[in-house]
Structure 1
Amino acid sequence: MSVVALSLGCSRGVRPDSAIAGTKPLTGKVYSNEAGEQVTIIPLEPADAKKALVEFNGTKSELDGKVVVASVDRDRGTGYWTQWRGRSQRFVTVHDRGGYEDLILSPVGATGYTHLKPDTGRTAALKVEKVFERYQEAEADGELKPFLPFDRKFWVTQAEKELGATVAEANTACGTKLSATIAWDSIPDPVLNELSIPSYCAGPLESLQKLCGRSEEAKRTIQQKVQTVECRVEAAPALKLEAQKVIWSVKSGETLQPEATTTFFTENL
């Protein structure tokens, strides 16, 4: 009787076009860590909907205080995918580590990730109907609407931030003051939406860093002959060296392999 009452109470008022229409919440779980980050996951039934509500708190990101609906997959752990700024993002993945759960959280705008574990106390106090209602309110108030369309400016800023971290690592390893640029005029919205630009553009920087770890001679050569790395999206992957500028071209689904990139620098610097 109580389960039926909970179901009816939560379902009342759900809009027909809602992402959670026709679903009801099951028992949820709260995860936390010592840094104060909290993630609440509430599966929704029917199970074949493959949906869950995810609530974020204490993440120091724009996700804080928000409840989002996520699509659930079970490939390499249980992943929770959310449409955010026009892209499908996996902010949360839960792994079974041989008897204990490990939640990996990668908030929007973060360059890394953190680990959370089940929080027994908070889970016991969790009221899933309140979270369910909170999501309904967010839909009704339009709270999540600004985060749904594709946001080129946001993803450009994020890509440059992530690539900047790779540049810093290369400069530390090589004792250089390299700069890296992304030729944004070569990257239309569909490509930016499809590719992880920082990952694609990191190739030459990672190879230079690897070479600097091999010898002092390699360090000195790179210090003298490389000042800038430019990343572009072109019809075919390629690597060129013009003056002291490395031009790195990638294509969707294709890039030069690390061995080939390292060999290029070995032979051309």
Structure 2
Amino acid sequence: MKNIVDKEIEKLNEVKLLQLLQLTIHFLAIKELQSIPASIIKNLHRVPDRYLNFLAKNNFINDLPISVRRQAWELNKDIFITAISEYCNLSLELLNNVIQDRRSIENQVNHIADSIGGSEILFTSFANHCVKQGVDDRKNNWGGLLRYVLMAVHSHELKISNLGKLHDLSWLIDSSLRHEKVDLSTISSIHSMLTSLIISQANTLEKQYGKVNDKPPVNNENNTKQINDKPIKKVDKPAVKEFEE
């Protein structure tokens, strides 16, 4: 019976799927019926934010595909950090050992990297968490964890600017730590990479926001009038009752 329902759901377009999800979303709380909304969610290209918040709020995301969980995590960074906290803690324990087991560390790190996937939002949340937690970390284990994860997510084709350069920098630092050796050539390479990253970041910010201008913005009354004079487009109300969390 479940296979028949799944096949019928797969035939529906995005609009029909959303309408059906609106009617069945609360079935997730019923064991015998939860497979119906779960199947609908799996077939959606993008789950609307209000449903993602509902799923996260009611702890329904754990059994859903990782792609759906990432969508929910991007909306709620705290839930994401909680989801990976076990792997972070195990990694930190391993990093704190005098003799480090790289394979065991990498196993935990891969769980974190798999959770991040190709999401720049999740990687940034993780990086910020490491920075915040690492303020009082005298052994810099949080920095070590961030370095490991940065190298791991490189294989996930993470869409983040300068990832290649960041990966190369992390690899260089990691190699120096493993060999307990830093020569002038390594220092020169690190300096060049950091300089390149700073210049690239400055250029990116300038392209996005332009150069800083101390002059106040000009109040263009004509532009304001044009915006205010635009007719308001009428939006038809949905035929199905609005979803309530």
Give the TM-score normalised by the residue count of structure 1: 0.25
Higher relative contact order (CA 8 A, sep 6+): 2
Give the TM-score normalised by the residue count of structure 2: 0.26
Q: Which of 1 and 2 has greater Rg?
A: 2
Task: Name the structure with the higher helix share.
Answer: 2
